[in-house]
């Protein structure tokens, strides 16, 4: 992992990326401004791992560029990815909301630039701006409804 890239996305692009994530999709853009300001940037090179299975999860990641493979084991070079995530996609978001360990390992498939949100920062924001939590709850409720619908079908 290395330091921040010289030219990151601006506030608008960060908000748009957050808006496309599952956790923040129902949070209003007015509220996402404060979340966007808390995002930090991290770089990873091919072959690195962002996190390992069973590790304590306290960060959420948005891929700005590059690709991430999620596997259910920690073996390096494993081709058994249950998901391959590209630019604009999110991972590790459930770790923000529960205290359970990571359910998979995130492998860097090609050099990747990530926007990162730390759990403690989100918690502080929620305490300060309670409408954020309502938006997050709404997003989760929508997801639950979708899951119910799929299950019924």
Partner 1 sequence: MINRITKLLLIQPDERSQIVYFLSLFLIIGCGMSIGRVSAEALFFKRYGIEHLPLIYLFQGGLLFVVTLAYASYADRIAPERLLRPLIIILCGALLALWMLMNFYEWEPVYPIYFLLYELVSEIFVVHCMLYVAQNFNVMQSKRLTPLIWGGWQIGSVLGAVTLAATVSNVGLQVMLLVWLVLMVLAGLMITAHHKKAGLSPYHRAGRKGGKALRHAFEQLSQGLSFAQKSDLLKAMSLALFFMVITFYVLCYSVNRVYTSTFTTEAELTMFFGILGATTGTTALIVQIFITNRLIRRFGVRNMNLLFPGLTLLGFSILMFSFALPAAIFASLIKDAFMPAIRNPVRALFFNALPASIQGRSHAVSVGIVLPLALAVAGLTLMLAQQIRDVLYFLGIGLITGMIYFFYSYKTNQSYVSSLVSSLRKKLFVPDDRLNKNIQGDEDEALRVLEHASTDAEPDIRFAAARTMLELFPERAGPVALKVLSTLAPPLRDQLFKMLAPLEPPKLRDYLWQELSHGDLHLRATAMHLLFSIRDTMARALAGEALRDSNPRILAMGIYGAMHYPVEECSSVAMSAWRDMFASDDKPRVMAALDLLMKWPNTEFTPRLTALLQSDDSRIQFAALQVVKVWPNNQLGNLAGILMSSIDSVDPATSVLAADCIALLDTHDRERLATLSLENNHPEVRQAAARALFPVACGVQPVVDWLAADNGSPRAHAAVLDVLLGKNPPRKILEILACQKAGQANYFLEAQRLIEATGKDYKKGHATAANELVVLTDGINSGLDMLAITLLERCHQLLDQALLVARQYEDASTVGVIRAGLKCDDRQHLASASEAVRYIRDQTLADVLVTVLEKLSGEPVTKNRYQIPFSDLASVLAWLTQKNDPWLSECVKQTKGGL
Binding footprint of partner 1 on the chain (CB under 8 A): 9-10, 12-13, 15-17, 19, 28-31, 33-34, 64-65, 87-88, 124, 127-131, 142, 145, 152-153
Shortest separation between residue 95's beta carbon and partner 1, angstroms: 23
- Whether the CB-CB separation of 136 and 23 falls below 8 Å is answered with yes
Shortest separation between residue 107's beta carbon and partner 1, angstroms: 20
* Joined tokens for residue 7: 């030219």
Neighbouring-strand partners of residue 71: 81, 105
Q: Residue 92 has what DSSP assignment? A: S
* Comparison of 13 and 120: residue with beta carbon closer to partner 1: 13
- Whether the CB-CB separation of 65 and 44 falls below 8 Å is answered with no
Shortest separation between residue 111's beta carbon and partner 1, angstroms: 12
- Whether the CB-CB separation of 53 and 104 falls below 8 Å is answered with yes
Q: List strand residue ranges (DSSP E) for the chain, in order.
A: 40-44, 49-51, 59-71, 81-85, 90-91, 105-118
Shortest separation between residue 86's beta carbon and partner 1, angstroms: 9
* Comparison of 65 and 103: residue with beta carbon closer to partner 1: 65
* Comparison of 17 and 117: residue with beta carbon closer to partner 1: 17
Shortest separation between residue 149's beta carbon and partner 1, angstroms: 8
* Comparison of 82 and 124: residue with beta carbon closer to partner 1: 124
Could you give the C-alpha distances from 70 to 14, 19, 50, 94, in angstroms and in order? 23, 22, 10, 14
* Comparison of 30 and 72: residue with beta carbon closer to partner 1: 30
Which residues, at least 6 apart from 45, have a Cβ–Cβ distance to it below 8 Å? 2, 108, 111, 112
């Amino acid at each position: 992992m290395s330091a921040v890239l010289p030219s990151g996305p601006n506030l608008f692009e960060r908000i748009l990326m957050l808006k496309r994530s599952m956790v923040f999709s129902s949070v209003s853009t007015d509220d996402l401004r404060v979340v966007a300001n808390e995002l930090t940037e991290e770089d990873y090179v091919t072959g690195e791992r962002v996190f390992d299975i069973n590790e304590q999860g306290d960060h959420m990641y948005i891929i700005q560029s590059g690709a991430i493979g999620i596997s259910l084991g920690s073996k390096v070079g494993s081709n058994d990815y249950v998901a391959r995530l590209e630019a604009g996609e999110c991972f590790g978001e459930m770790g923000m909301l529960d205290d359970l360990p990571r359910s998979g390992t995130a492998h860097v498939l090609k050099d990747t630039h990530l926007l990162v949100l730390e759990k403690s920062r989100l918690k502080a924001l929620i305490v300060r701006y309670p409408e954020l939590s309502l938006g997050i709850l709404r997003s989760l409720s929508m997801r639950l409804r979708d899951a119910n619908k799929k299950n019924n079908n």
